Amino acid sequence: MAVEIRVPSVGESISEVFIGEWYVKEGDWVKVDQDLVGLETDKATFDVPSPEGGVIASITKAAGETAEIGDVIATLEPGPNPDGESADDQAQTANKETATASSASSSQNDGGSAGGHVMPAAARLAGESHLDPHTVKGSGPGGRILKEDVQNYLAQGGGAPSTAREERRVPMSPMRQTIARRLVSAQKDSALLTTFNECDMSAIKNFRSSYQADFQKKYNIKLGFMSFFVKAVIEAMNEFPSIGAQVDGTDLVYRNYCDIGVAIGAGKGLVVPVIRSAERLSFAEIELTISDFAKRAQNNKITLEELEGGTFTITNGGVYGSLLSTPIVNPPQSGVLGMHGIVDRPVAVNGEVVIRPMMYLALTYDHRVVDGREAVSFLVRIKETVEDPTRLLLEV
């Protein structure tokens, strides 16, 4: 008897999902718990595994379509592999066929358009890579161009920019639509203001250099900069609690805990998973949590629960080379700290000009909740803590 593959419930506020990409096609045999399709919501992406081993009998919702919670998107006929081939062997065979097709396409693409219908995930990747997806030979049913086809084409040196004037239309994913909507809402519904400062990173760099080997040996994780800033934010929030307050109607809601969101670039957009009760965590626990978030974000494994809530956000544009920016508050939060690149610059110290590793800091805050004096003092407190990290040990 056929087994129906339905869209699972993914949260109380989620009623609709976007079919991102099918990893299998009709007629494929799959093993139990093998990922079948990637679904996207306005907050996160996730995969739907196979409940049993069997053959994919039908796919009723194609990539790029939307489906409601509980909708049937595919059916599966349970049973052993009719070809006597394991799912792993089948996957290896499919990969070889895809590689062969991609190799053939690379030799044919000089002659012009090679592909058929472009799947949404392939279209987005091609758009990001400034590649005309129709120059890629598709290995999917009916010559459909899959994300893997674009990846293989790019890996083989394809993707030279076209000299012809062209225009591509790529649908925004639900996550990108939500990011856009929330950013516009933050600008419209909040009284945002940004204050700036700079900090000398010499002390932290020396601290990390002295204890990095021992720290990594004990905890199997590198001591990064982010844990220092998380700790510094917590200390500053204890002194200036209005930074963590949030507007609820005509009330201000204060919390006695620090749930710190950390902005992480994921495969399908920026996500901000939350470090719960960060004030209770050690440096190692913070670093391990952030590392786990980063790994799972690249594989779209961050859960909805991990993205919800938060009292304050930290974003680090410095990893992408940003020198200075004005971050936007993540509603309904009232503040966000922007870290930036560390650059050796001449600064005056005790009347002398010296070269120091400097970082610009930016604090954007909701002026409805936070006064300018508090915001400036909050950022100065972070600067003082970062420039003298022993304060974190002495709690002064």
Whether residue 130 lies in the annotated active site: no
Q: Which of 42, 248, 371, 388 is catalytic?
A: 371
Whether residue 367 lies in the annotated active site: yes
Kindly report the CATH number assigned to the domain that includes residue 147. 4.10.320.10
| Among the listed residues 60, 58, 76, the one whose alpha carbon sits nearest the alpha carbon of residue 2 | 76
For 265-316, write each residue's pLDDT tens digit: 876 667 899 999 999 999 999 999 999 999 988 877 888 789 888 999 999 9
Residues 208, 309 within the same domain: yes
Strand arrangement, sheet containing 54-59: 3-6, 72-78, 54-59, 29-30
Question: Is the peptide bond between 332 and the residue preceding it cis, with omega within 30 degrees of 0?
Answer: yes
Phi then psi dihedrals of residue 386, to 5 deg: -65, -40
Cβ–Cβ under 8 Å, residues 102 and 153: yes
Structure-token match 């989620």, residue found:
14
For 226-259, write each residue's pLDDT tens digit: 999 999 999 999 999 999 999 999 999 999 999 9
Residues 188, 117 within the same domain: no
Burial annotation 165-187 (CB, 10 A radius, 16+ → b, else e) = eeeeeeeebbbbebbeeeeeebe
Q: Which of 33, 110, 367, 388 is catalytic?
A: 367
Residues 152, 280 within the same domain: no
Residues 247, 182 within the same domain: yes
Residues 109, 17 within the same domain: no
Query: What is the count of structural domains for the chain?
Result: 3
The pTM (predicted TM-score) of the whole model is: 0.67
Q: Is the pLDDT of residue 350 over 50?
A: yes
Residues 201, 253 within the same domain: yes
For 192, the domain range is 176-394
Residues 187, 155 within the same domain: no
State residue 392's pLDDT score.
Answer: 79
